[in-house]
Each structure stands twice: as C-alpha cells, then as structure tokens.
Amino acid sequence: MKKVWLLVIACRLMAYSYAQTGAKTSPVQRPKLVVGIVVDQMRWDFLYRYYDRYGSGGFKRLITEGFSCENAMINYIPSFTAVGHSTIFTGSVPAIDGIAGNDWTDQLTGKFYYCTTDSTVQSVGAENAIDGKMSPRSLLVSTITDELRLATNFQSKAVGVSLKDRASILPAGHITCGSHWNCFLV
C-alpha cells in the first residue's frame, strides 16, 4: 500500500512540476519571411570570395543575417538540377524522394520520364499547353515548404520562381501557392 501512495505522490509532483515549467515558457518567435535561394553551379566559397562586391541588401545581408549550410555534403550521384533541388528542400536522397535525375527511363517499362511531367494537370491560362503540364507528382516525399504550410494551418505562402520548371516546381512542393518558370523571358 505504501508503494501505491508513493507512486501517486510522485506522479502528482511530476505533473505539478511540468505544469509550472510549461506555464513559464514564451511562445516561439517565428520569422516573417523565409527565402530559400539555390544558385545552380555556384560554389559555396564564392559567397566569401566575392563578399566585397555584394551590395548591402543582397547576398551580404543574407550572409550576415541569414543561415547558410556551409558544411553540407552531397551523398548522391548524379548532381543534376532536379536531384539537387529535391534533396535540399526535402532533406532526403534520390533513392527515397523519387527524383533520380532531370529525366530517366523506367527499367521495367522502358518509358521515358521527365522529373515534373504530369499529364493530369492543366496550366493556368493555357489549357492545351504541353509545357504547362508539370507538377511535383514524381516527388514522393514532402518538402520543407509543404511542412511550413501544414504547420501554419495553410496561413503561410509558398511560391517557387525560376527560369527552369523543375527548379520552381520541386522546391515549392505539393501544396504550393504557385510555381512560376520562364517568367523572365517575356
């Protein structure tokens, strides 16, 4: 009987302790803006080699006020655009995230796949445009942008912008607000 009372007292003390520490915590400070920038073929050391040439509001500000992954290792081959963007924004590797290259051939069927081709979708403003039939359908995992949208109950916005469709669509994720590519070639 003593053991039962000791257990009850211990549980109550733990619950009281937890309630006291939980009440004193302040809410998490969330950033107002998160920007992910990937520059294809740009070596990480260029950020510091050309530091003096950057304006105060561009790369220089990102380096001093932002976050940079400087000890990142590429643990996969090949390092194509689609593979790199998928890996960066999912934290996964090609064997798991499903993006094995910019394009590939299915070994079983012999069918050719482009990483973002999706015949089930329509582009906005051009119903018959083949170039607009793109989505992250081949991406088998969620991206950091997907998780951000879920964590904020879809209050946050996620938009992908790039010259290349794969560099816009894959980082923006499955539940994006929009992906825009070729928008600079007007």
User: Does residue 108 share a domain with residue 52?
Assistant: no
Higher pLDDT pick, 161 / 34: 161
Q: Given pLDDT bands bounded at 50, 70 and 90, which one contains residue 137?
A: very high
- Whether 158 maps to a domain, the answer reads yes
Q: Which residues pair with 104 in a beta bridge?
A: 113
Q: How far is CA 22 from CA 11, 15, 28, 169, 183, in A?
A: 16, 10, 13, 40, 48
User: Does residue 95 share a domain with residue 144?
Assistant: yes
Higher pLDDT pick, 122 / 165: 165
Instruction: Among 50, 72, 94, give the residue marking a domain's end.
Output: 72
User: Does residue 60 share a domain with residue 102?
Assistant: no
97 pLDDT above the threshold of 90: yes
User: Does residue 176 share a domain with residue 129?
Assistant: yes
User: Does residue 111 share a domain with residue 128?
Assistant: yes
Cα(179)–Cα(161) distance, integer angstroms: 6
Q: Which residues pair with 123 in a beta bridge?
A: 126
User: Does residue 150 share a domain with residue 131?
Assistant: yes
User: Does residue 81 share a domain with residue 145?
Assistant: yes
89 closest CA partner among 145, 138, 44, 33: 145
pLDDT at 96: 93
63 closest CA partner among 83, 45, 79: 45
User: Does residue 80 share a domain with residue 65?
Assistant: no
- Whether 34 maps to a domain, the answer reads no
At CA 121, angle to CA 115 and CA 124, rounded to 5? 110
What pTM did the predictor assign?
Answer: 0.75
Q: What is the mean pLDDT of residues 138-148?
A: 94
User: Does residue 54 share a domain with residue 129?
Assistant: no
Residues annotated as part of the active site: 81
178-181 vs 159-162, strand pairing mode? parallel
Residue-number span of the structural domain to which 143 is assigned: 75-186
User: Does residue 90 share a domain with residue 64?
Assistant: no
